[in-house]
Structure 1
Amino acid sequence: MKKKISTSSAAMVALATGTLISGFGASQVSAADLGGNCCADLEERIAELEATTARKGNRKVSLTVTGWVSEQVMWWDDGVEQNTYVVGLGTNYASNVQFTGSAQISPGLTAGYFMRIELRDNNLYSIDQNHSTSADANSVFAEESYWFLKSDTYGRIAVGKQSPAGDNAAFNSDLSGTTAAAYWVTYDAWNFGIRLSDGSYSNFTWGGGKGAAGGQCHGWGGGAADCVGSPRNQVRYDSPVLSGFQVVASWGEDDEWGVTGYYTQTWGDFLVKGVASYSGTNDRNLVTPPVGAGPQWSPDSRYLQLAGYLENVPTGIWGNFQWGHMDSEGYESNDVYYAKAGIKLKLTSLGTTRPYAEYLHASNGIYDKDGNHAAGASQTFYGGGVVQDIDAAAMQVWLRTRVLTEDLPRSLTGGLDTKDFTEVVAGALISF
């Protein structure tokens, strides 16, 4: 059997050969006509290959670099003013770079690491009617960084900054392929003030801080339903998938914990996914104290999520329902309901076309900018759009619209009605 010689070895052989030949004298070199640059081209080629190859820390750990770039153009109308902004997608789908490394310890057992660097060129959390660019535009965040051990038999355990078990649990039930364009968090209008019928601003926002649906989570995460919504220092366990079932559990942050169960299976012509998740924390640094809270206040917060997805695979018709229920010491409990339905169509060779419609209702979790509870208030949005896959470019493009409405007690608005907020958004996400 012939032994394969590596490129670098070949270069050494060629260099040695050239040196030996040069020792024979000028006449022999001329006869061989090897030339004075016999190895220069080869060394240049080796250098070129090294320069275009992703380097690894060592020869035992593989490295994969992935991620995506996402941007949107948003036109909005708050009932008084209209404008057009160029914005990102919020932290769930912000442009990012991901690094994954792994090494095999033994058959069926690997060790590895994961890092996700998020690029916020324009953070949706702080733009509003008066600011088209966020205060922390062009910021870079280390969103996740952890190591893991993974067994094919026993599952995976990870330690470091990562998503808790309850993060995006209900969201993960959505298999429609439309989540980049639309899901149950109102990032687009996050810090926009809610207008009153006389054109003035109320003391509420559509999603930011404690205002409006942002109060649903009592500070433990983001806006409506995005509770337990941030990566934190955690120990997390992901079980192997058995007969469609998987369990995820996590603990960390003095103290935050969560358990989530997933079930994904095909029943005849139907694709089914179900999610049940329960999380809790007593960390005063995670939950915003209610108005008037004393020094002995404890958050003692609990968040329940239930969700289901059903798709008729031959026709592509699908539906998704999500529910989040928050209880926290000193606050009123509240609920968020979200439904989305659509169809997957093969209308073009570009890829799947995904029209959809959506609806959300958030009740009894509305707080003003000062943290005061608006008893009986609720928020609703409805909308729809179409997402087009472009398979050849690993890309999605979309066009969508939403209308947000707020029902506030007249005692909090000076007897005035609130104006709706309308947005039309065109965006794209390309993966690498």
Structure 2
Amino acid sequence: MLSGRGQVHKQQKASRGENHMTEKIKTTALGLVAGASLLALTAYTAPASAADLGGDCCADLEERVAELEATTARKGNRKVSLEVYGQVTTAVMWWDDGFEDNVYVVDPQTSNTRFGFRGKAAINSDLEAGYNIELGWQTADATKVREDNDEGADIPEFRQAHWYIKSNTWGKVRVGFADTANSGIAEIDLSNASVADGMSSSQAGSAIMQNDMGGPAFGNYEFNRANVVRYDTPTMGGFVVSAAWGEDDLWDVALRYAGEHGGFKIAAGIAYGENTDRNNGAGPTDDPAIEVLNGGLSIMHMPTGLFVTTSAGTRDADDFADEEHFWFLSGGLERKWFTIGKTTLFAMGGEQEDRSDRTATFWGLGAVQKIDAAAMDLYISYRHYELDGGTAGLVDPNEDKFDTVVGGARIKF
């Protein structure tokens, strides 16, 4: 038997034990509630604060969330990758047509502003499947601005929307809106000169010369992009053969080569195609057949950086007054004189003659400076044109010269 004091002591001890257990339960419960609240708050605030990685207590967590979000955007689902890419290209263009001179802010056509999505997935050790969606956007296409309109085209343009299957053994097949076989064949260039609006067809001010002055239509006669089925062989000794067919309206074939010999890097291609689409630019006749033959060659001496690039082509149809043709030649030097990146200096010349016997002969100079750390190209080019209006004549015979200077930048992402 316990004495009265012992009984009281036992009761007090039991009471303290119960109180201690109660406090422990309360503490544990409060801890769980606080932890759950913190997790809920983090989940709620992470997307909003991921871009602000300040020096607070949650900076490491927010930085990790931002990294995970970026990784998810790049990888797509677990089977097919996703890559977001693109570039912004804008410039300032001064032009003088002998009647008026002006300065416009433009988007050069040679390498225009664009963004896209592409990805792929391995089927087995030999096969892969993939896709490409690409959209171009030009608020003031340098080839379409006019004397009375400094905006040019202002609409988005699909450049790619196709899927493909590629085999290392059998080649690549793509289906959808894609490059035809001759797309890019007259734009082969191992140097960086083409960034400065340096190729034959994409000439700043061409709409002014054609529509406001009575000069020729410009082009390199590529079919560019269309709804096609295209096949490319595997590379064999540096050669690739391509063929494309689109909706019973066009087909073309091309042969390309890329390789190095004795310190020289060489890239070349030639293509032939036919197009019976009534919107192919041939004229009012329904479904006239257009035949095109074009190609390009670029050679660079790797030890010195000296290069030469040329392209040429013809286009003909039954209702053409004359066969159209163009030729283009550029050459220069590409060296890394500055630590920021390579510098390209070049001169160029060429001629365009359209189906109405209108011609434009031109020459020019240009420079491109790469900034490797920013994936950026700074460029400037000058061109001088001599125009002949053919049998139709120029709008004003005294205005037969056109000059333009284009300077700007391209940055890739």
Asked if 1:179 is matched to 2:194, the reply is yes
Paired AA for residue 176 in structure 1: S
- Indicate which of 327, 338, 342 corresponds to 2:332: 342
Q: Distance in 1 between matches of 2:23 and 2:137?
A: 61
Indicate how the Cα distance of structure 1 residues 282 and 237 shifts in structure 2: closer, same or farther if over 3 A, else same.
same
Supply the distance in 1 between the matched residues of 2:167 and 2:114 (Cα, whole angstroms): 28
Question: Residues of 2 paired with 1:298 and 1:58: CA distance?
Answer: 44
When residues 29 and 311 of structure 1 are mapped into structure 2, their CA distance, relative to the original with a 3 A threshold, is farther
Residues 145 and 161 in structure 1, CA contact (< 8 A), matched pair in contact too:
yes
1:132 has 2:150 as partner: yes
Match of 1:398 among 350, 362, 379: 379
Aligned pairs (5 A) from 1:85-96? 85-90=104-109, 92-96=110-114
Q: CA deviation at 1:32?
A: 10
The structure having more radius of gyration, on CA atoms, is: 2
* CA spacing shift, 1:411–1:51, aligned 2, 3 Å: closer
**Partner residue of 2:301?**
312
The question of whether the paired residues in 1 share the 8 Å contact of 2:359 and 2:390 is answered with: no
CA distance in 2, matches of 1:271, 1:25: 82
Q: CA deviation digits over 1:267-324, x for unaligned, max 9?
A: 011111221111112222324325xx4xxx5522111113211111000000011111
Q: Normalising by structure 2, what TM-score?
A: 0.82
Match of 2:364 among 364, 375, 383: 383
Unaligned 5+ segments in structure 2 are: 1-20, 51-64
Q: 1:269 to 1:57 in 2, by over 3 A?
A: closer
1:80 is the counterpart of 2:99: yes
Distance 1:60 1:342, change over 3 A: same
Q: Which amino acid aligns with 1:38?
A: G
Native 8 Å contact 1:298 1:329 kept in 2: no
- TM-score of the superposition, structure 1-length normalised? 0.79
1:251 aligns with 2:269: no
- Residue matched to 1:192: 208
Provide closer, same or farther for how the CA distance between residues 228 and 42 of structure 1 changes in structure 2, counting only shifts above 3 A. Answer: same
Once the two structures are superposed, residues 61-120 of structure 1 have per-residue CA deviations (whole angstroms, 9 ceiling, x without a partner) of 110011100100011111122111000012x52211110021111112111110001112
Residues 130-168 of structure 1 show CA distances to partners (whole Å, capped at 9, x for unaligned) of: 11123x42x222221001101111111000011111112
Would the alpha carbon gap of residues 83 and 248 (structure 1) be closer, same or farther in structure 2, given more than 3 Å must change?
A: same
Alignment correspondent of 1:354: 344
Match of 1:99 among 117, 126, 150: 117
**Letter matched to residue 70 of structure 1:** T
- CA distance in structure 1 between the partners assigned to 2:24 and 2:141 by the alignment: 72
Q: Which amino acid aligns with 1:261?
A: L
Aligned counterpart for 1:155 among listed residues 160, 171, 179: 171
2:128 and 2:167 in contact (8 A); partners too:
yes
Deviation at 1:424?
1.1
Q: Give the AA of the match of 1:65.
A: V
- Report deviation, 1:37: 3.0
Q: Which runs of 5+ in 1 are unaligned?
A: 1-23, 196-200, 206-211, 215-222, 367-372
Specify whether residues 37 and 329 from structure 1 end up closer, same or farther in structure 2 by C-alpha distance, changes over 3 A only.
farther
RMSD between aligned residues: 2.5
Q: 1:286 aligns with which of 280, 299, 324?
A: 280
How many equivalent residue pairs?
A: 369
Question: Structure 1 pair 274/414, CA: closer, same or farther in 2 (3 Å)?
Answer: closer
**Pick from 69, 86, 110: which aligns with 2:128?**
110
CA distance in 2, matches of 1:32, 1:194: 81
Report 1:34-45 matches (<5 A).
Answer: 34=31, 36-41=33-38, 44=42
Are positions 1:426 and 2:413 aligned together?
no
Deviation at 1:42, TM superposition (A): 5.1
Pick closer, same or farther for the CA change 1:71–1:28 going to 2, 3 Å: same
Contact 1:194 1:418 in 2 (8 A): no
Identity of aligned residues (%): 29
**Greater share of helix residues, 1 or 2?**
2
**Amino acid in the other structure paired with 2:80:** V
Q: In the alignment, is residue 144 of structure 1 matched against residue 160 of structure 2?
A: yes
Residue 30 of structure 1 corresponds to 27
Q: For residue 228 of structure 1, what is the aligned residue in structure 2?
A: 223
How far residue 349 of structure 1 moved from its aligned partner, in angstroms, is 0.6
Offset of residue 335 of structure 1: 1.8
Deviation per CA, 1:384-413, whole angstroms, max 9, x where unpaired? 111000000001011111111112347735
